[in-house]
Copies of this chain bind each other. A is one copy, B any other.
Amino acid sequence: MSKEEVVLLGFWASPFCNRANIALAEKGVAFEGREEDLFGGKSDLLLKSNPIYQKVPVLLHNGKPVCESTNIVSYIDETWPSPPLLPPCPYGRATARFWADFIDKKVFDGGNSIWKSKGEQLEVAKKGFLEILKQLEGAMGEKDYFGGDSFGFVDIIAVPLTSWFYAYEKFGGCKLEDYCPKLYAWMKRCLERESVAKVLPDPEKVYEFVINLRKMHGIE
């Protein structure tokens, strides 16, 4: 193949898609982003490329599909090795993968439980979400980034999820920064990076999107 063809099937508000967007930007890989119409009708290419989940993101590299966002970021890191996103030593890599998996399992679902609930359930959801954020803050410790001094794998997995935090605050009636100042300092540090700043959506727009999601879920 004379020229590499890299296509990313995505959706602007999806933190999972934005992981792939940031990873490609960090590697300086030119690619074509194709916005999927998740509510009007997914493309045949998406359905064919990800028959198991039928979800974005899908990375198509010379026509071959890679699915699931954390897997896509690993693939990008191995295919275009410079600059590396995962640390070089097996123990550092295992620690990064542990936290990436923790974030995958907990953060998005935990945050969404806030805008999906009301009353007593909402208080439980908020408490649960704050505990998750405190655990993440514990993983960061006194470091600038999850992996240490430089922006890397876990930061890419985590930072797109923060675009939704403003919506969680609006529906949860709380200011997350008061509970997790170090996590917010990290978030602002990440947002100063071009690869992150140019990819992540305006939190106000995500908030409006979540208002519509709530209507679609029959909440309010």
Contacts and interface: CB of A to CB of B under 8 A. Distances in A.
Interface stretch (A18-26, A87-95, A193-201, A208-216): A87-95
Given A52-B135, A102-B52, A135-B52, A91 B66 contact: yes
A68 B101 contact: yes
Contacts of A135: 52
**How would you classify the secondary structure of chain A's contact residues: helix, strand, loop or mixed?**
helix
Contact of A71 (B61, B74, B101): B101
A84 to B, nearest CB: 13
A2 interface: no
Nearest to A50: B98
B90 A75 contact: yes
Interface of A: 52, 61, 64, 66-68, 70-72, 74-75, 78-79, 90-91, 93-94, 97-98, 101-102, 135
